[in-house]
A and B are shown apart, each in its own frame.
Chain A
């Protein structure tokens, strides 16, 4: 039964993708229906799989010789992320029925979305490193294809290419790590590696550890790879919600959490992880404060929250990071979808042109505010519990400077969140915009996600138990929801954090009094807008590549005979070398 479920989790979306493409663009209703059915079936299958979790591999395909066994293990972490991917995926597809109504090339859109969902569930369920790399690359490919979906818009194409190049470079780090593990232990199996990681020569273990860290940082858009996610906002909003908030960018955090027991002893690795997480959280928070594009603010806030999760992993709080992952997927997807509704209605992404939309779009306003409260970490929302857990884990096991940075960033988060909400929904109308509220399908997804942000923290206890029983190599401290609640409510750190959040709120409300502070901090604006100088580095790399390509162009005559002549000459050279060496 478990094996069938795992096959269907990957197979149903991929089959759906193929069918949507074959049905053709002349029948959009059929395409919409097929996509919704496939994704909802996948969502139900993934939820059912949660109850069938186990720590031994459920599917074992012997592939002989060099490839090992293609195995899939539905353990706690895997089924959780698969459920997130499938459920949020189905909600995003339902939302797309209204959002993409009348769009061209719908088949390509749905096929890529379904292909992505299947690949994501495969990535988190597999316990073979080679298969993990294979699914990793598929998610990168579909993400690129969907970012550049409007492929006659040069900004979209540029954003897609940037995302592709950066995440692929990170993927090389993962491949290097996987090959190192295979070379040392003779197997690609994850659990074997986690059990026997002490047998590997420390130098090779270090190479693997930092390779994986690079791959995770690139995929989750952390420092120093933090420039691709904001530019990926050219994608349609359901894609931003699904891929760039709830699933693909979580793959990096998943990687770090999964391999933590093997790498925690590597000297310098945990510090590097904490530094990456803390720096990303801080600079992304600063950049969000100065941004004027609604989706860019959300993108920066995603980078910042992912920084929190990475920081938690570095400090050893694996449960805290996974719990925050769960909360974040729900409220960030909610925020993106609600933002999509706003953008779809008014036709612009610039927040300076919005304002006073609350009266015209009441439902959207309510769900957006709920999501924003969860993001800022206000009590009772799921974001509050998970963020407090992270801060506590950081206080106990991590360095003090990192804790202070994260605390400050929590205040920053509250500040930019309320700025965003106020600029869009309250105040005077800054320009005359036509606005209508969310339509039927959009409403379904929005309301379901809003309910989720209010309630998912109640699942903390069962979630912790699920992780503890099926992951033999990790350590988890909590057992029930009440324990988590008690821990958070009684720790003094919570009070400190709440004060900082309140300070952030206050700073926005009393911003007129703080004009002096604003003027002195205005020097940060150009720094923030150029992503702290990393955009310039990217430009240089792109220019060098282009110059090289133009220079080498003369060898491409385009004539088939000359191309083959080149191949045959190369063959002659190789044979000559072989003959001389024999």
Chain B
């Protein structure tokens, strides 16, 4: 029963975040969706991932959104849709039904509930250490990218061309 509530809440939050006219409301609905995702992940037996998702998704990303919206200011939508609505609905319908049909056989495998939380994750980091290294590099690159993007001041150009 709880599961159904969480899932419905998740879908409602997601729909509202896309449909809100104001960007600040979208960010807040997104925070709600992140919190519910974290709850669902916990129900699925992944408590560590749930905690990280809660702090990063509902915390960090929301703060970033609020910050960015504050800097860039509110804006009302003025332009028309580029893609006709019917086309969008058709393509989405095709994709969703196909994806659903393809993964349907996997649905009935027995799921032994949330007690499957494992302590083997410590040993896992040795197997996936390249992954960890790449993630650290990714974070580093992201920080450098943001630093570069937000610098914004031009420098005086001096003579440079030698032979």
Contact = CB atoms under 8 A, between A and B. Distances in A.
B75 interface: no
A67 B158 CA distance: 46
Interface in B128-143: 128-130
B102 A64 contact: no
A576 B158 CA distance: 58
B162 A572 contact: no
B163 A576 contact: no
Contacts of A153: 161
B91 interface: yes
A562 B84 CA distance: 11
Nearest to B81: A561
B163 A348 contact: yes
Interface residues of A, number: 35
Given A63-B129, A559-B82, A571-B95, A150 B161 contact: yes
Contact of A99 (B91, B161, B162): B162
Contact of B163 (A67, A100, A343): A343
Contact of B159 (A102, A344, A572): A102
Contacts of A343: 162-163
B41 to A, nearest CB: 25
A582 B102 contact: yes
Contacts of A571: 95
A150 B160 contact: yes
Interface size range of chain B in the complex: 20 to 34
B106 interface: no
A572 B98 CA distance: 8
Given A104-B158, A236-B162, A344-B162, A576 B129 contact: no
B94 interface: yes
B92 interface: yes
A285 B100 CA distance: 67
B74 interface: no
B115 interface: no
Contact of B102 (A67, A344, A562, A579): A579
B102 A572 contact: no
B150 interface: no
A203 interface: no
Interface string B8-45: 00000000000000000000000000000000000000
Given A64-B128, A343-B162, 17 more contacts: A62-B126, A62-B129, A67-B130, A103-B162, A104-B159, A150-B160, A150-B161, A343-B163, A344-B162, A559-B82, A568-B95, A571-B95, A575-B99, A575-B102, A578-B98, A579-B98, A579-B101
13 contacts: A62-B126, A64-B129, A103-B162, A104-B157, A343-B163, A349-B163, A565-B83, A569-B91, A571-B95, A572-B91, A576-B94, A579-B101, A582-B102
